[in-house]
Structure 1
Amino acid sequence: MKFIKKIDIFVFKAYSLLFVGTFFICLFIFMMQFMWRYVDELIGKGLTLDVLSHFFYYAGLTLIPMSLPLAILLASLITFGNLGERFELLSMKAAGIPLIRILQPIIIFNILLCIGSFYFQNVTGPEAQKKFYTLIYSMKQKSPELEIPEGIFYSEIPGYNIFVEKKGKENGMLYGVMIYSTTDGYEDAQIVLADSAELKTTADEKHLMLTMYAGERFRNMQAQGNMMARANVPYMRETFIQETDLIPFDNNFNMMDANVFSGSAQTKNLREIETGLDSLAHKSDSIGRSLFAYLQNTTYRRKVNIASQDSAKIARQTLNFDTLYSQLTVSQQQSILRNAMQKSTVATNEYEFRGLISKDIDQSTRTHWVEWHKKFTLSLACLFFFFIGAPLGAIIRKGGLGVPVVISVTIFIFYYIINVSGEKMAKSGEWVPWFGEWLSSMVLCPIGIFLTYKANKDSAVFNIEAYINVIRKILGLRISRHIARKEVIIHDPDYPVVKTELMALSQEWQAYAQKSRLRLPPNYLHIFFHNIDDHEVISLSRKMENLITILSNSRDAAILDALNKLPIVSTHAHTRPFHNYKWNMVLGIIFPVGIFFYFRIWRYRLRLYKDIQQIKKYSAFIAERIEKISEIE
């Protein structure tokens, strides 16, 4: 216990309570979404509470592996968002505790959750899937609850269409009954009209007892003989006062055998999946060998029973099949064509049949591999989502159910789209199964590492300006100056001194441009293999910025406008691609890439030359303006 600190207990307690709550919330949401998929099998079947409870129980078990990652993501976001919002996380860091150490107890807990999720998917999940599919199929086979509406035809009883004009609310009698019966086939259909009727279920709930009062029955007659005989006996008419029909209608719920779904990949553990893959591979090889033998003996048959002397004669002759065919009679030609068509049709059907078998085996093999990888990826998703949610919560510092829920749902939808797309591609054969299933993990893992690194270094991940600056550096863009006139100026610029320094600086820039020959192509070796800064440009740029700072206190609008037009000089872009010497060497050795950076640096040198000319121009303008101000004063 000495390794467990109070801070570990505090963080774990805050996380675990939220995790339990978010887990059941996520499970409930998935259950509701899941229920809408099978609402047709639930409504109108008269299912007992026992059957419904089994349905929700097994559905909940199958949804646990999918609910865990979302619950972990949401709980970690809320937990560390709350800690950041209440400055508790800041206090821990101020005490010298790094973020990784704060996360340590929850990391251990989530690793155990990953192991538990994998064990659940490998042991409990397959059995739950088998029971759930068995239950769903049994529910689909169950007859619907008998509830005949008024004014429309009711066709849920097999072989019967019943129309009821009115129903008695007190006694349950049916009035104005019309029945179309096709139990003996459409050619022997019956129509029954009754003033009233009563429909009851037998004691064993396997039949319906339909008692009709004061009605007529019309039945088509199947006359033997020609069409004239049929026309003379169109139907039979029967009048009755009371008549009872016994209709087969099994209203019981019969659970089918669960072993029917034992061959599905979703109902197998890892060992059973591997065994199934071996069986499928053996079956595929057997079909391949069988097809090869079939093709050898039929389409691509090479052995022909011809005597040696006949084969020698054939070898010495040149056969022209068109000539042989034209010498045959028309009937012989038609016979040959019919035989050829029959053989080609038989061969085509045989190939299609064998192709369908091979396609089914390939589909089943891919499905088995997808389920094999899915048990690992869905378990690791718990850990990946934690390393996304916890650092993200520490960065945004927003707790509660507002921002964390929005972010969690957005991230999970993004993950779900990638996961489902990859799984579909893998099952269809467009991608290999391992890539389709691991694609979502390949996306989540770098994001988790990046966010954890940024949160541990207290970096501003959502600072848009920082990303804009990086893009500007890559594209070689610069920001412009925005020097506005100050409302309060404490010290006015010393114009004579500033003018002298500004003109001297302009001459230094011109001397540097002539000495460096900026317009000429740079030396390739100096760019990539000499890690030397251009200290002269750095010094000149620093002097210019100091003068601009002094002149920004000017009250003259023309001077301020000229200052805004002075460029912000890049002091390193014209020397080498990177500050790291090794990276520059690698770029220089990789010639095609080095050529790109070579021309990029030449571009920066030309831009520096233009900047120097612009500095000369506006320095002269500012000097003239200072002279005018001095004359006025």
Structure 2
Amino acid sequence: MLRIKKLDIFILKSFCLLFAGTFFICLFIFMMQFLWKYVDEMVGKGLEMTVLGQFFFYSALTLVPASLPLAVLLAALITFGNFGERFELLAMKAAGISLARIMRPLIVFITFICCVSFYFQNVIGPKAQTKLWTLLISMKQKSPELDIPEGVFYDEIDGYNLYVKKKDRDTGMLYDVLIYNFEKGFENAQIIKSDSGRLEMTADKQHLYLHLYNGEQFENLKSQNMSQKNVPYRRETFREKHAIIEFDSDFNMADEGIMSGQSNSKDMRMLQAGIDSMTVRNDSIGRAYYKEVMANTYSVSTSSLSKADTLKIQEANLAYYDVDSLYASKTLAEKQTIVNAAINRAQSVGSDWSFKSFNISSTDTSLRRHMTAWHEKLTLSLACLIFLFIGAPLGGIIRKGGLGMPVVVSVVIFIIYYIINNTGYKMARDGKWIVWMGMWTSTAVLAPLGAFLTYKSNNDSVVLNADAYINWFKKIVGIRSVRHLFRKEVIIHDPDYNHLPADLEALSAQCREYLEKRNLKRAPNYLNLWMSEGRDEEVEKISDRMEELVEEMANTRSVSLLMVLNNYPIIPVHAHTRPFRNYWLNLACGIVLPVGLFFYFRIWAFRLRLYKDLERIIKTNNDVVLLIEKDKNK
């Protein structure tokens, strides 16, 4: 029996509220991007609100699958970031609940979201794409709203150029009007100039009614003799003139059948049928073209030859003949005939090959578009689940909620996904990559990343802890860490000042004995360095004993003693020995000379540092002993 626990309800409620908000935000951003791309098709055309409403509705439906992955990523990051920031994630793990168990209700929910995304792409998406692109084509074909500007030529009316110097927007009157009518051609243009006028739209929105007052009309008359230098013209002066201009400003919806062959207007079943039919068509046309070319272009015409001559020509080898001498033996007219025939034949064959190549390539392009659309329905749906396995563990690692760091991280990850996915799509669409390889590249890259982050977050790894990387970098470069000891507010056990001087002296004796035994100032032997024992147990014992004494003396109430304790160095006990624990790996490192030289000089530098550290320990021990004796005397 399915049992939903309170923890699952809490996690789902926390995630779903954020998911709903982030989804509408992402959808709005994508819609603004889409609107900005086609804003020129809508501005200035006087489209009705119902047309604009359909445009926004269908564009929103087509952008739902693209918005879901980003919404899942952002919601998962914020949700688990809030859990980490409020220590709720820590409480869950302290109760023995693993990250996989915490994510289980979200995995079920996002699997359902993947199915919704697939349904939108396979069922709703093709219909919405058909409606949207039909609407866009109809909007492109609609004439713009008539709004003649002042001081510039207006050419949105086909065959006319209008210039208005001044316009009264309250009365609609136009002043100093200049009209160029090019309906009969540029050489037979009509030019009308009037003091004022008015331009109105007819009731059926199919024509413009033009009223002009106090002006002149100039028109060239069509010349019957093309060589005639003087072209007659006609000039007319009028007090009032009226004209009808064709101008269809009504919105006419295009036929949806124009989108029937497009890949984005088909579901997976129709895409697969189209892929199969185009594959068979390309194969059959390719074989037919091959047979046709081999039968006609490269065959020898034998209609005017005897049987013996035909056999000779078919068995002849061009290498046996001196073509240049044969050509030179011909007359000038025969040479011209041969060259023209060769040129005509080459042009004919080239044109034939170009047509056949275009026919095959156009079908192949349509085939790749259908195949990319088929794969995209699966990859875009699966991206929702992959982004959950990226966002949830990443939010648990970052432990920052709200709209700050999660938004930045999610945008960066989505940009990387978009670049990889768009690159693979274009490579597959253009035929440079195999289609399935290009379309599944983003999934192949991000799925291992999601698995890696989930594993690291489940094990409470410091994969995104900046301090860990800073400490690693300091260790590689050799930057020394410094002690920072402060006076404790509560001290339970005071240091044993009676035994400390003897212990410190014993530590100093160990350091002197080590310095006498190991000549640290001398450069190490390159060959022995890679084959000797890796660990230096004596330095480890000295470092451990020093840390024990420092920890004991850190309980002191003396501020001066604490200041002296900060002079004790932090010894990197392995830096002056071989870099790796494996013998053969060290040997290979020594053989590869550039790498071996780098580690060799690094080890030599740390040996010199170790020499100075041991001397510093001896000096600091003496200072501590003197300070303890001084405090005893007081």
The equivalent of 1:576 in structure 2 is: 582
- 1: CA distance, partners of 2:484 / 2:128: 75
Give the letter aligned to residue 233 of structure 2: Y
The superposition leaves residues 54-111 of structure 1 with CA deviations (integer Å, 9 ceiling, x where unpaired) of 0000010011001111111111122222222222222222222222212111110000
- Pick closer, same or farther for the CA change 1:334–1:504 going to 2, 3 Å: same
- 2: CA distance, partners of 1:8 / 1:559: 52
Alignment of 1:580-595 (within 5 A): 595=588
Give the letter aligned to residue 582 of structure 2: R
Give the letter aligned to residue 438 of structure 1: W
1:479 aligns with 2:478: yes
1:497 aligns with 2:495: no
1:404 aligns with 2:412: no
Alignment of 1:144-223 (within 5 A): 144-223=144-223
The equivalent of 1:5 in structure 2 is: 5
Give the letter aligned to residue 479 of structure 1: G
- Pick closer, same or farther for the CA change 1:595–1:358 going to 2, 3 Å: farther
- 2: CA distance, partners of 1:625 / 1:89: 49
Match 1:267 to one of 265, 268, 279 = 265
Is contact 2:81-2:395 (8 Å) kept?
Answer: yes
- Pick closer, same or farther for the CA change 1:308–1:472 going to 2, 3 Å: farther
The equivalent of 2:454 in structure 1 is: 452
- 2: CA distance, partners of 1:537 / 1:309: 95
Is contact 1:45-1:144 (8 Å) kept?
Answer: yes
Q: RMSD of the alignment, in Å?
A: 4.0
- Matched residue SS, 1:188: coil
Match 2:341 to one of 335, 339, 342 = 339
Is contact 1:566-1:615 (8 Å) kept?
Answer: no
- 1: CA distance, partners of 2:285 / 2:111: 44
Alignment of 1:123-522 (within 5 A): 123-228=123-228, 231-301=229-299, 304=302, 306-310=305-309, 318-467=320-469, 477=476, 479=478, 481-482=480-481, 491=500, 497-506=506-515, 519-520=527-528
Return the offset for 1:461: 2.2
Is contact 1:46-1:145 (8 Å) kept?
Answer: yes
- Matched residue SS, 1:246: strand
Is contact 1:31-1:60 (8 Å) kept?
Answer: yes
- 2: CA distance, partners of 1:395 / 1:22: 21
The superposition leaves residues 270-329 of structure 1 with CA deviations (integer Å, 9 ceiling, x where unpaired) of 111111112221221233123213321333225645434335767799532212211222
The superposition leaves residues 367-402 of structure 1 with CA deviations (integer Å, 9 ceiling, x where unpaired) of 111111111111011111111111122222222222
- Pick closer, same or farther for the CA change 1:550–1:67 going to 2, 3 Å: closer
Q: How many residues align?
A: 600
Give the letter aligned to residue 405 of structure 2: V
- Matched residue SS, 1:151: coil
Is contact 2:529-2:578 (8 Å) kept?
Answer: no
Give the letter aligned to residue 62 of structure 2: T
The equivalent of 2:99 in structure 1 is: 99
Is contact 2:79-2:401 (8 Å) kept?
Answer: yes
Return the offset for 1:51: 0.5
- Matched residue SS, 1:213: strand
Q: Percent identity?
A: 44
Give the letter aligned to residue 234 of structure 1: P
The equivalent of 2:492 in structure 1 is: none
- Pick closer, same or farther for the CA change 1:2–1:597 going to 2, 3 Å: farther
- 2: CA distance, partners of 1:393 / 1:16: 16
Alignment of 1:24-39 (within 5 A): 24-39=24-39
More deviation, 542-551/71-80: 542-551
TM-score, normalising length: structure 2: 0.83
More deviation, 271-280/398-407: 398-407
The superposition leaves residues 168-226 of structure 1 with CA deviations (integer Å, 9 ceiling, x where unpaired) of 33432222211101111222211112232222222221111223233222112221124
- Pick closer, same or farther for the CA change 1:243–1:282 going to 2, 3 Å: farther
- 2: CA distance, partners of 1:68 / 1:246: 53
- Pick closer, same or farther for the CA change 1:298–1:187 going to 2, 3 Å: farther
What residue ranges of structure 1 are gaps of 5+ in the alignment?
528-533, 578-583, 588-592
Is contact 2:210-2:244 (8 Å) kept?
Answer: yes
- Matched residue SS, 2:423: helix
Is contact 2:99-2:457 (8 Å) kept?
Answer: yes
Return the offset for 1:131: 0.5
Give the letter aligned to residue 352 of structure 2: E
Is contact 1:114-1:382 (8 Å) kept?
Answer: yes
The equivalent of 2:542 in structure 1 is: 544
- 2: CA distance, partners of 1:201 / 1:313: 81
Is contact 1:522-1:602 (8 Å) kept?
Answer: no
More deviation, 464-473/291-300: 464-473
Is contact 1:566-1:614 (8 Å) kept?
Answer: no
Return the offset for 1:156: 0.6
- Matched residue SS, 1:143: coil
The equivalent of 2:64 in structure 1 is: 64
- Pick closer, same or farther for the CA change 1:505–1:232 going to 2, 3 Å: closer
- 1: CA distance, partners of 2:188 / 2:450: 70
- 1: CA distance, partners of 2:81 / 2:480: 38
- Matched residue SS, 1:232: coil
Give the letter aligned to residue 380 of structure 2: L
Give the letter aligned to residue 576 of structure 1: N
What residue ranges of structure 2 are gaps of 5+ in the alignment?
488-494, 554-559, 630-634
The superposition leaves residues 435-463 of structure 1 with CA deviations (integer Å, 9 ceiling, x where unpaired) of 22212212221221122112211222222
Give the letter aligned to residue 78 of structure 1: I
- Pick closer, same or farther for the CA change 1:250–1:625 going to 2, 3 Å: closer
TM-score, normalising length: structure 1: 0.83
The equivalent of 1:79 in structure 2 is: 79
- 2: CA distance, partners of 1:17 / 1:281: 47
- 1: CA distance, partners of 2:603 / 2:198: 103
1:115 aligns with 2:115: yes
- 1: CA distance, partners of 2:614 / 2:401: 58
Is contact 1:480-1:564 (8 Å) kept?
Answer: no
Return the offset for 1:49: 0.8
Give the letter aligned to residue 298 of structure 1: N
Is contact 1:519-1:606 (8 Å) kept?
Answer: no
- Pick closer, same or farther for the CA change 1:193–1:486 going to 2, 3 Å: closer
Is contact 1:567-1:611 (8 Å) kept?
Answer: no
- 1: CA distance, partners of 2:598 / 2:221: 99
- 2: CA distance, partners of 1:28 / 1:170: 38
- 2: CA distance, partners of 1:547 / 1:94: 35
Return the offset for 1:238: 2.4
- 1: CA distance, partners of 2:472 / 2:572: 22
Give the letter aligned to residue 182 of structure 1: F
